Chains A and B, each alone.
Chain A
Amino acid sequence: EAQVTQNPRYLITVTGKKLTVTCSQNMNHEYMSWYRQDPGLGLRQIYYSMNVEVTDKGDVPEGYKVSRKEKRNFPLILESPSPNQTSLYFCASSLRYGQGAFREQFFGPGTRLTVL
């Protein structure tokens, strides 16, 4: 089954304790992305990756890191989490066709993170 998986689905942690949220897709997609979703603000892009070893900042990258060592995996790293990073996080992937045009994005089930 074609899918994007994220782990963990729920996480409660404390300020300053490093954590990683994993994301994996089995559709051979070039493009992967991380979003956070907060009430009233919608989905905001944190980082994206056009392909292996190619990553770039989205609109809200502060406090986050990513890496893309393999095509299927795109982990999100919070080196020193703070309470304002409490949010619902989604990983997504898509094919691209040509320059600048996406096919639809496939989203993972989400990770609900609480930072105390």
Chain B
Amino acid sequence: SQKIEQNSEALNIQEGKTATLTCNYTNYSPAYLQWYRQDPGRGPVFLLLIRENEKEKRKERLKVTFDTTLKQSLFHITASQPADSATYLCALEKDGNKLVFGAGTILRVKS
């Protein structure tokens, strides 16, 4: 069956450290993958998109990698800040017309 798995346990890290979140998928062949941020009670906000032929994408303190052999994407936030605390969702393209989301990982950055 098709699955998208993100760490169900919250990730707690100290301010200034690098946060690394994982998105693993099974039985999908996505042409691209997206990462979103969601704050409590609000809609998700787009962060980054990476295509299957791209190994790495960066935007300011954010970095995403996409390994189609391992079927995994890693999302890094460097020099993390308490304001980065949120739930982070990965989403895969499916069948050309749909986005399928993982359940998300809660990130807590402590000062």
Chain A interfacial residues counted at CB < 8 A: 28
Is B61 interfacial (CB 8 A cutoff)? Answer: no
Could you mark each residue 64-107 of chain A with 1 if its beta carbon is under 8 Å from any beta carbon of chain B, else 0? 00000000000000000000000000101000000111111111
Q: Which residues of B contact A104 (CB under 8 A)?
A: 34, 46, 49
Q: Which residues of B contact A90 (CB under 8 A)?
A: 43-44
Q: Which residues of A contact B41 (CB under 8 A)?
A: 110
Is B10 interfacial (CB 8 A cutoff)? Answer: no
Q: Which residues of B contact A62 (CB under 8 A)?
A: none
Q: Which residues of A contact B89 (CB under 8 A)?
A: 42-43
Q: How far is the CA of A77 from the CA of B4 in the complex (A)?
A: 28
* Contact status A107-B44, CB under 8 Å: yes
Interface set, chain A 21-74, CB cutoff 8 A to B: 33, 35, 40-45, 48, 50, 56, 58-59
* Contact status A42-B103, CB under 8 Å: yes
Smallest CB–CB gap between B6 and chain A, Å? 8
- B102 nearest in chain A by CB position: A42
Q: How far is the CA of A86 from the CA of B74 in the complex (A)?
A: 33
Q: How far is the CA of A48 from the CA of B98 in the complex (A)?
A: 8
Q: How far is the CA of A103 from the CA of B32 in the complex (A)?
A: 10
Could you mark each residue 1-41 of chain B with 1 if its beta carbon is under 8 Å from any beta carbon of chain A, else 0? 00010001000000000000000000000011010100001
* Contact status A58-B103, CB under 8 Å: no
8 A-B contact pairs sorted by A residue (CB < 8 Å): A40-B103, A42-B89, A42-B104, A45-B98, A58-B98, A104-B34, A104-B49, A105-B36
Residues in chain B within 8 A of chain A (CB atoms): 4, 8, 31-32, 34, 36, 41-46, 49, 51, 89, 91, 93, 96-104
Residues in chain A within 8 A of chain B (CB atoms): 4, 33, 35, 40-45, 48, 50, 56, 58-59, 90, 92, 99-110
